[in-house]
Amino acid sequence: MVYFDAASGAPLHPVARQALVASLDEGWADPARLYKEGRRARLLLDAAREAAAEAVGCRADELTFTASGTRAVHTGIAGALAGRRRVGDHLIVSAVEHSSVLHSAEAHEAAGGSVTRVPVDRGGRADAASYAGALRADTALACLQSANHEVGTEQPVAEAAEVCRAAGVPLLVDAAQSLGWGPVAGDWSLLTASAHKWGGPPGVGLLAVRKGVRFAVRGPADERESGRAAGFENIPAIVAAAASLRAVRAEAAAQAVRLRELTELIRARVPELVPDVEVVGDPVRRLPGIVTFSCLYVDGEALLHELDREGFAVSSGSSCTSGTLTPSHVLRAMGVLSEGNVRVSLPAGTSAPDVERFLAVLPGAVAGVREKLGAPAPRAAVRRAELVLDALGKRCPVPVIELAKVIGEVPVGGTVRVLADDAAARLDIPAWCEMRGQEYVGEEPADEGAAYVVRRLS
């Protein structure tokens, strides 16, 4: 099995494994205790905090170990909002943050707070000027990821931190995808990360809160981790997290060059090998190991199964892979095709032959799924000036497949009115138009679902 889903979670780094196993014997006792085992556990915890703080670029007493990256985000956002309650209850996030950030924003809204979601460009990148524009007198906190988890696009965090700092607003940076590659640039106020994303063990998140940032812990009191992470410290995992972060950093520059070459290859070759593909994400300002593309007329889940059968583990932000059938909020915010989406995220040490084999296998896998779904091939048809396509009850990617089949049936200048009730259609029909050089006229209300009007241009 070739694992190309490092952005979900990296396999355990050998250094992490070694440190974890070693500290099972040394670090199991309660670091709050006064006897020898307790003092030894405390020393391990202190040393891990020093090492992790150095990698983050903060002071040891600014760094808390949490039970996961998600928990770090939840605690960081809630604590910063509570700490600045007197200023106001306005929160700024980008539209492409990780779900832990967006769910925190939803919880904040549900509790009466207000949220601005800053849009991104077609490459998935937010703009520091948009953050400046979103700042208000009652803004308590702004959040911006260091890089996007679905498409790899790097965000302008240093610039965003600068505009926030000028307004006296703290910026929380979710650095889950990038911390293994290097420290986050710029004058951020809070930072979160997750050890299993860089090859550390599960069960460890980082939350850094700069001195001077107002922060109020919410929920029941607890003495551990400066009151910011309730519960007994998981010292073996914390030691492994810190040790592996240091090890991964030492290898980062060399790995970045290797992985960037491999993802460049995928970016360049996929559109040559597979018809009707859109490679998404910023082509330049991106993480070394992530490349994402979407395949027209393809069901993402079916494609993942095909690739799994061929021995490749990849992920998908396609509407058809999640249990909820909602298209990926990231792809939606970018306005790109969401159907048949594949995210390839290479772990450190990925070999070129594995990538070559992936490229060799992909075209057949896509063609196989398309064939099963009955994707379009040209055919003669009666030409009417307007055609109504009833795709009600049909799920992504069927409405777009049907559209592609019938567009040739209207003359150039004629329109197809697609009736559809699948949420993904709103995103995928305009995206298809852009890819195929057809005009997306717009959406109109309909008795059921909505009508998406497309004008044939070629």
Residues that bind a second copy (CB under 8 A): 1, 3, 5, 8-9, 11-12, 17, 20-21, 24-25, 28-30, 33-38, 67-71, 74, 78, 99-100, 103-104, 106-107, 194, 196, 201-203, 205, 219-223, 230-237, 301, 304-305, 307-308, 312-315, 321, 323
User: Residue 111 carries which side chain, given as an amino acid letter?
Assistant: A
- Smallest distance, a second copy to C-beta of residue 359, A: 18
DSSP code for 362: H
The answer to whether the beta carbons of residues 10 and 17 sit under 8 Å apart is no
Nearest approach, Cβ of residue 30 and a second copy (Å): 4
Q: Which DSSP letter does residue 275 get?
A: S
| Residue among 232 and 353 whose Cβ is closer to a second copy | 232
CB of 354 to a second copy, least distance (A): 15
Closest CA to 152 of 286, 330, 32, 10: 286
* Cβ nearer to a second copy, comparing 212 with 323: 323
**Separation CA 53–CA 50 (nearest Å):** 5
Closest separation between CB of residue 245 and a second copy, Å?
Answer: 16
Burial (CB count <10 Å: 0-12, 13-18, 19+), residue 210: middle
At 340, list the tokens.
């048949």
Establish whether 396 is a catalytic residue. Answer: no
> How far apart (Å, rounded) are the C-alpha atoms in residues 195 and 244?
9
Residue 156 vs 236, nearer CB to a second copy: 236
Q: Least separation, in Å, of the C-beta of 163 and a second copy?
A: 26
* CA dist., res. 405 & res. 412, Å (int): 15
Alpha-carbon distance values, 424 to 103, 127, 358, 399, 411 (Å): 21, 26, 27, 9, 27
How is the chain split among helix, strand and coil, in percent rounded to 5?
40, 20, 40
Strand partners, 3: 313
Written as one letter, the residue type at 401 is I
Choose between 201 and 289: whose C-beta lies nearer to a second copy: 201
Closest C-alpha to 81, from 53, 117, 109, 61 = 109
The least distance separating a second copy from the CB of residue 178, rounded to whole angstroms, comes to: 17
Q: Which is nearer to a second copy, 30 or 421 (CB)?
A: 30
Q: How many CB atoms lie within 10 A of CB 378?
A: 7
C-beta of 17 vs 249, nearer to a second copy: 17
Q: Of residues 143, 164, 320, 433, which has the active-site annotation?
A: 320
**Positions marked catalytic:** 320
